[in-house]
């Protein structure tokens, strides 16, 4: 991991993903066309750390699914491929339910 200054973070290159983090820190990920770095700052800090992720979480949907499956595998020890399958199945089910709900409201 290397250090990064907050002034290097801009909305043209980075996406704020703090909403999805449960650790109370600020997280930024590079857009896929710029790279695959992940920057983390403590709240209110000007200096943070940056590292490369194996999968780019901003490359939706494939990169996001691969990133989540890798994260699940690291946290639980479960097989990454099973995590990928579970995420795709859950997404498919949610899409089915949303379409069904919309169809009923018409």
Q: What is the pLDDT of residues 22-37, one digit of tens each?
A: 888 999 999 989 988 9
Do residues 6 and 41 make contact, with C-beta atoms less than 8 angstroms apart?
Answer: yes
Is residue 66 located within the same domain as residue 26? Answer: no
If asked whether residues 30 and 47 sit together in one domain, one would say: yes
pLDDT of residue 91: 94
Domain match, 29 and 70 both: no
- pTM reported for the whole predicted model: 0.69
> What is the span of the domain harbouring residue 76?
60-106
Asked if residue 50 and residue 30 are part of one domain, the reply reads: yes
103 and 87: one domain? yes
Alpha carbon distance 92, 2 (integer Å)? 38
Q: Which of 43, 58, 73 is the last residue of a domain?
A: 58
- Give tens-digit pLDDT for 41-98: 999 899 999 999 888 888 889 988 998 899 899 889 999 999 999 999 999 999 999 9
Quick one: 18 and 41 in the same domain?
yes
| Count of residues making up the chain | 106
Q: Would you say 80 and 73 are in contact if contact means Cβ atoms under 8 Å apart?
A: yes
User: How many structural domains is the chain composed of?
Assistant: 2
54 and 25 together in one domain = yes
């Amino acid at each position: 991991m290397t250090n990064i200054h907050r002034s290097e973070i801009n909305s043209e290159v980075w996406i704020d993903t703090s909403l999805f983090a449960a650790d109370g820190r600020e997280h930024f990920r590079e857009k896929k066309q710029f790279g695959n770095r992940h920057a983390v700052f403590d709240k209110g800090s000007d200096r943070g750390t940056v590292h490369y992720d194996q999968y780019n979480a901003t490359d939706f949907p494939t990169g996001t699914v691969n990133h989540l499956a890798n994260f699940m595998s690291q946290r639980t020890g479960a097989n990454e491929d099973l995590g990928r399958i579970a995420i795709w199945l859950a997404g498919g089910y949610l899409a089915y339910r949303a379409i069904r709900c919309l169809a009923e409201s018409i």
